[in-house]
Amino acid sequence: MIPALPKCMLPLTWDSPSLGLAKEFIEYAVSVCKPDEVMVFDGRRESWIQSCEDLVKSGSFLKLNPYIWPNCYLSRSNPVDVARSEDRTFMCLKDGETLYRKPHNQIPPQLGFKWGCRAGEYDPEKKRELSTEEMRQCLLKRFEGCMVGRTMYVIPFSMGPVSSEFAKLGIQITDSLYVVANMYTMTHTGMGIISKIAEGSPFVPCWHSTGFPLEAGEKDVCWPCRLLPSDRYIAHFTQPDPAHPRLGEYSIMSYGSGYGGNAILGKKCYALRIASNMARRDKVKWMAEHMLILHVTYTPCIGIDEVTKKKKYGPAEYFTVTGAFPSACGKTNLAMLQVPKEFSDEWKVSCVGDDIAWIRFDSKGRMCAINPESGFFGVAPGTSDYTNRNAMETLRGGNTIFTNVGVTVEGDVWWDGLTEDPPKGLVDWRGHRMQDDAWRDEDKEKEKMKKKQFIKSAAHPNSRYTTPCAQCPIIDPEWNTGKGFPIDVMLFGGRRSQLMPLAVRTRDWNQGVLAAATLRSEGTAAVQDRVVGTLSFDPMAMRPFIGYNVGDYFNHWIEMGKMASDQYRPDIYVVNWFRKDAEGRFLWEGFSENFRIVRWACLQAKERREGKECASSSSCTPSSSSSCAASKCCGAETPLGYAPSPCALGLDLKSEESKHVLKDPSILSVCECKCEDGKCVVGKLLDDGWFNELKERKAFLELLEEDLGKELKKEFNELVDRFASAGMKAPAEMKIEDLHFQLE
């Protein structure tokens, strides 16, 4: 049960002055939103079940078949509210601070920045974006009376285990019980947080409303929201509210949408946008990144025991790999990777997190990551026992909320990719009964097309599941202890059907930061109204989540690299699982096979730990499949960094299995391999597309104007030089001119 406010505050009473700032915020929010009643969510499992059952009663949730999906529910959103509304997301910084030097509407459209935060709404009368305090007034006006006829739910929550040094607290007020139910799974909730706040721990006030007050006697709808996209605001403030300065510098005000990252405010709004701002502002610097965290255990086989004839294993070694990928690019799959059989004897992986990493230094100067969330909010389509059995097992553990997937009349769920053929008795994500076998046709070609259409319409492409991390069969035993996992490897990857190679290890931290900063990716359905497939910049996969000036954010990365100890500074890799051939077929098998890159990276981290410098490779040529020990294969040198040979990935191009995994070995590199004295050296470029690619990257970096740090500029010009050595035309055009400083 969710008790009404005064009861729930026991042993503290509602009138207790010791409730301090929690009380000030709730009273402030009540006075603005004018709800009919206020309830506090106490974080108990019973309260979660009660919330879900109440949602069933009101018609918002459908209870799924408990024999297949125990304690699981289906929710259907309004079809206009199905993804994060990036172009209604505002980072309202301190007066005088900006995300980019240029106002949002002056950023060249080809850079893809129609999506991503802006400073304030554009006011056509003032011919400028609203200032931070104007935005606050604009939001307060929207919130005025927005909960009339409704209940205001108060959710005390922590990002990160409450007792850990990483933990950050928040209180979300919301008029959506769906959001309450999701926040329970995605964050650490409970009354202990109110007590901590009462004791003086800071918290972020998080305002959320669907913007749908009810007149007396008006019937509620299943998914309240504002229908006009321009009526939605996801606004973040990083300076105090002048009316309530004691509530601190940070606050979030989200209005008009009930979906995912727009409404579950602990996730993208707090744990990425606000947290990244805090991370740079705090005295002890840290980072909040859009990254999965994978823990890898390697127990090398060291021979055969002569007596028992069994394999002998050396001591276990541990690695932590993080991966930054834009939304809907397979982060959850990589976070729950299944190690291919041929490696599973020596290698095991466990999952720490699938979306967000908070990174701090430990006393040895290692960058250590935790997952601040407690649930997975994963994209359903494409998830199956073949692509991600661990995710399926997590869901089958029950306690899952599905949003916008298809459902059968038997109360089973379905989406594109779950099974080969759609089941009979399917109801699509909008609640329309689909006609069984409507896709069948005598003409097999026609049937293929019709089936594709049918399948695609069952679940929304951004349909989701909200499920507890603790249910994942390969969750790391220490995922929730607050212990930071020391990072060895950081992977960065976009969705690129052309040009970008499968994987490269960058030469050093600064080159890696440049590569991550200039990451580009093709659009997916995770963003409202985004044209799927269009290419845009997505630095560190954080474009929609960077919570302060983007140039400063890059410089923060450079500074964090300087603070890391030389011995433990993570290696940065750029990867791309999504190369396609002319017919649109993927050239890399992906999914579990991505482990080959993880293994290659961990073996290089091992060499570094052992003090063996990975220089440009020895005998690893893309055509050799012979005696190349993976641990010796640092890779062939390319302008982007070191590229793996097939043998370094455990592939033998003569075998059919390997050809199935890697359909075209040329995706391994940007250059034709050229060997001199048995060593790979930079060869001729394989694709002329690099000229345009660098030109676009230059345009993006120049957008930062004076905020572009000298290190990145130097790295970029050196990258151009390396491409010039590999035969790229007109490099002089490509260099970034000195904008404001002399290069050393």
Kindly tell me which of 322 and 658 has the beta carbon lying closer to ligand OXD.
322
Kindly tell me which of 336 and 620 has the beta carbon lying closer to ligand OXD.
336
Residue 255 forms beta bridges with which residues? Answer: 209, 233
Kindly tell me which of 239 and 327 has the beta carbon lying closer to Mn ion.
327
Query: Which whole-number Å values give the CA distances from 525 to 82, 256, 471, in the listed order?
Result: 9, 20, 27
Shortest distance in whole angstroms from residue 741 CB to Mn ion: 35
Residue 311 is encoded by which pair of tokens?
A: 């394999």
Whole-angstrom Cα distance, residue 305 to residue 222?
A: 65
Q: Please work out the total of residues on this chain that contact ligand OXD, with binding judged by CB under 6 A.
A: 7
Residue from 113, 153, 178, 377 binding ligand OXD (CB under 6 A)? 377
Kindly tell me which of 327 and 333 has the beta carbon lying closer to Mn ion.
327
Cβ within 8 Å of residue 504, ≥6 positions away: 573, 574, 635, 638, 640, 641, 642, 643
Cβ within 8 Å of residue 182, ≥6 positions away: 263, 264, 375, 377, 401, 466
Kindly tell me which of 261 and 340 has the beta carbon lying closer to ligand OXD.
261
Kindly tell me which of 172 and 327 has the beta carbon lying closer to Mn ion.
327
- Residue nearest ligand OXD, Cβ-based: 327
What is the sign of the dihedral through the CA atoms of 516, 517, 521 and 524?
A: positive
Q: Which does 112 bind (CB under 5 to 8 A by kind): ligand OXD, Mn ion, none?
A: none
- Counted residue by residue, the chain has a size of 744
Whole-angstrom Cα distance, residue 122 to residue 129?
A: 4
Residue from 161, 190, 260, 683 binding ligand OXD (CB under 6 A)? 260
| φ, ψ (nearest 5 deg) of residue 278 | -60, -40
Whose tokens are 């997590």? That residue is 394
Q: Which does 465 bind (CB under 5 to 8 A by kind): Mn ion, ligand OXD, none?
A: none
Shortest distance in whole angstroms from residue 48 CB to Mn ion: 23
- What is the contact mask toward Mn ion in residues 274 to 313, using x (rule: CB under 5 A)? ----------------------------------------
Kindly tell me which of 371 and 555 has the beta carbon lying closer to ligand OXD.
371
Shortest distance in whole angstroms from residue 196 CB to ligand OXD: 27
Whole-angstrom Cα distance, residue 377 to residue 383?
A: 13
Q: Please work out the total of residues on this chain that contact Mn ion, with binding judged by CB under 5 A.
A: 2
Q: Which amino acid is present at 442?
A: E
Residue from 355, 637, 693, 696 binding Mn ion (CB under 5 A)? 355
If binding is defined by CB under 5 A, does position 81 make contact with Mn ion? no
Residue from 277, 327, 394, 638 binding ligand OXD (CB under 6 A)? 327
CB count within 10 Å of CB 1 equals 13
Query: Which whole-number Å values give the CA distances from 269 to 17, 197, 248, in the listed order?
Result: 30, 20, 16
Shortest distance in whole angstroms from residue 28 CB to Mn ion: 31
Whole-angstrom Cα distance, residue 101 to residue 597?
A: 38
Which strands form 401-403's sheet, in the order they lie side by side?
Answer: 61-63, 73-75, 401-403, 464-468, 375-379
Contact between 456 and 380 under an 8 Å Cβ cutoff? The reply is: no
User: Degrees (nearest 5) of the Cα angle 558, 371, 362?
Assistant: 50
Whole-angstrom Cα distance, residue 190 to residue 45?
A: 10
Residue from 23, 76, 84, 142 binding ligand OXD (CB under 6 A)? 84
Q: Is 675 a catalytic residue?
A: no
- What is the contact mask toward Mn ion in residues 310 to 349, using x (rule: CB under 5 A)? -----------------x----------------------
Choosing from 52, 329, 614, 628, the catalytic residue is 329
Shortest distance in whole angstroms from residue 550 CB to ligand OXD: 18
Shortest distance in whole angstroms from residue 497 CB to ligand OXD: 20
Shortest distance in whole angstroms from residue 419 CB to ligand OXD: 24
If binding is defined by CB under 6 A, does position 538 make contact with ligand OXD? no
If binding is defined by CB under 6 A, does position 261 make contact with ligand OXD? yes
- What is the contact mask toward ligand OXD in residues 339 to 358, using x (rule: CB under 6 A)? ----------------x---
Kindly tell me which of 520 and 713 has the beta carbon lying closer to Mn ion.
520
Cβ within 8 Å of residue 622, ≥6 positions away: 636, 645, 646, 665, 668, 669, 673
Residues that bind ligand OXD (CB under 6 A): 84, 260-261, 327, 355, 377, 526
Residues annotated as catalytic are: 329
Residues that bind Mn ion (CB under 5 A): 327, 355
